[in-house]
Amino acid sequence: MPRIFDDAQLLDQPDAKTRRKLQDQRRMAYRRAIEHYAEQCQLQRELADFPELVSASYLQHAESDSRRAA
């Protein structure tokens, strides 16, 4: 009887490891998304103090896009 139990454990271990690995990947993706969101919010707060930089950056980006299209 212990032999059958050992075989069942061997079959379950990769599933548990795979499940843990997937959970870790999801957790890290979630953490990265939160960090990215926090960085974007911080950048928005910093740029809100200098609206002329935002408009200048927008104009530069628009000019480079129009050059690429031509």
Evaluate whether 54 touches 47 at the Cβ level (below 8 Å): yes
Tell me what pLDDT residue 1 has.
47
User: Which residues fall within 8 angstroms of residue 47, CB to CB, at 6 or more apart?
Assistant: 53, 54
Mean pLDDT by runs of 10 across the 70 residues of the chain is 54 77 95 96 84 68 66
Token pair in block for residue 21: 């690995």
- pTM of the model as a whole: 0.50
Give the start-to-end residue ranges of the domains of the chain.
18-69
